[in-house]
Amino acid sequence: MSGDRPTLPPVRLNSEAELARDALSAPLLARAVRLARWAGPDTQVGAGGELVEEQLPAAATELGLGDDQDGPAYASEAWRVAVDTGLVDVQDAPEASGDEDEDGEGTASVGENLGVLTAGSPSDVLAIWLDAFDVVFADATAPMIDDFADLVGEDGEIDFERLEWDPEEEADFLEGVLGNLYLLTVSEGGTPEGPVPLPALAASMIVPDDMGEPTDDILEQVSDAMMRLDDQFRLLEPIGLVEYEPVDEALMAEVGDEPAPPVDDEDVARYGMVRLTPLGLYGVRARMLEAGVDAPAVGDLADKGADALLDGIAYFPELSARAETEQWLARRQPADAARELLAAARGNDAGGPLRRLHCQQALALTGASAEPAVRQVLPDPELGGLARVWLAERGALDVPPPSETMIFWLAIDTIAAQLAVEGDLEELQELVEGLVGQHSGFFDAAWRVEHPATADVLEAMGRLHPDKSTAKDARKAAFKARSRV
C-alpha cells in the first residue's frame, strides 16, 4: 500500500494572484522589464542577442546601477532574461557585404510578452516567470570560465573536455538540491518552515544515508558542494526563488578558500542559510511536475469528485488533509457533499477503511444540513456505524441503536484504517485496549465479522495488546478468521 503514497508531502501554495505579484517584484524580472521598455531602434545587440559592450553602461544607468561597478554585469544578466522570455525581440543584422570582415550588429524592440506581463492574467505572468527561472537555472549550472581563449581548440571549436564540465550532471545536481530543499522546507502542515543551513543541504546530497561518522573525504566533498551552492543561490535569489544568507566571507579568510562544515549550531548561520520563498515553492514544484514527480498541493482535489478526495488525502498529514477537505467542502452544499462522500466511502477493497475514516472526518466539518443525508445510510452495514457516531456527536435524537454485528464491524474497520495510516503506536494500543475492555468476549465475536481485514486486524491486535493472555486470544481469533475463509 505504501507504493500508492505521494513521494512528497502536499504543499500549501499562495494564490496565483499573490504569486504573480511576487514574480513581478522579483528584482531580476523587474530589471528585465525595465530594459525591455528601454529597448528601441538604437539598441545594438550582438550575434547572440546580447547587448554590445558599448551599451552596457547605458543599460546599467537605466537600472539605476550606473555607479555600481557590477552594474554592467547586472544589466547584461537582466537583458538576457528579457530576450529569452520574449520581453524583447531581437532582429539580426542585415547580411554584411563581402568587403566587410566585422560581424554586423542587430537591433532590438519591445517583445510581445511585455504586454502579456503587464496586462495578462496571473497564470500568464507565472508562465513568463517560469521561463525566467529556466534562464537563471541554466546560468547557475554553467561552468565558471576564467579565460575563454584557453578553451578554443585548433579547429576554432570549444573544447568542452578542458572544462571538466558535464552539463547533465550539473543540472541533475542542482535539481536534486532544489528537490531536497523543497522537502526540507515543506512542513507536515504543508507550509514553509524556517531556513535550511547550507551545510545540511550540501550533506543531504553527499553523505550516504547509512553512513555514521563522515570521513574526511566526504567532509571535503560537502565543503566543495557548499561553495558550489553558495554561487548558485546567489544567482537564484534575484529571480525570487530563494531567500539566501550567503556564506560569511570571513570564514574563507580564516580557513582558506573552502570552509569546513560547522561542528555545532552556534555559528551555523555563518555557513549560509537558505529557504524557498512561496514563489520558489511554486517554481520548484512546477519543475517537478514537468519531470513526472508526484508533488501534490493542497487544493488540487477541490474540483474533483469525493472518490478522488478520499483516495487523494489517504496519506496526507492531518493538517493538510483537513485543509484539502475544507477547500473541497467550500465548493459544495453540505447536503450534496455529505451524499457524495458517503457514496465514495463504500467498498470492501483494501482502501475502504481509510476512505471511511476520512469520510467521517470530512463529515465532522459539515453542518446540520448534512443530517438528512447521514440518516439515509443508518441501515447501511458499512456506513451505518459512522453515521451513528456523527449523529451522536451532534446530540441528535431518535438514533436507532446499532446491532452487535454493526458494532464489531465498525471496530474492525476503525482499527484497519488506523493500521493503514501507521498512526501513533501508543494511540493505537489505547484504541485496542479500549475496544477489548468495553466488550466481554470481544474475540469470540470479532473473528466472525464479515470484513476483508478481520484476520489482519486480529493479528495486529495480538501484537499490540500488552496483556499476554489477551494477545494470545487475539492470535487464536485471527487463526479462526483465516480458517473460516
Tell me what pLDDT residue 192 has. Answer: 64
Residue 360 has pLDDT above 70, yes or no: yes
- The tens digit of pLDDT for each residue in 11-44 reads 999 999 999 999 999 999 999 999 999 998 888 8
Residue 445 has pLDDT above 50, yes or no: yes
pTM (predicted TM-score): 0.82
The stretch 100-119 carries a mean pLDDT of 80
Tell me what pLDDT residue 389 has. Answer: 94
Q: Which of 42, 120, 111 is nearest to 83 (CA)?
A: 111
Residue 100 has pLDDT above 60, yes or no: no
- Sorted by sequence, the CB contacts under 8 Å of residue 245 that are 6+ apart come out as 195, 269, 272, 273, 274
User: Grid coordinates in use for 72?
Assistant: 554592467
- The tens digit of pLDDT for each residue in 122-178 reads 999 999 999 999 999 999 998 766 555 566 666 666 666 666 667 788 899 999 999
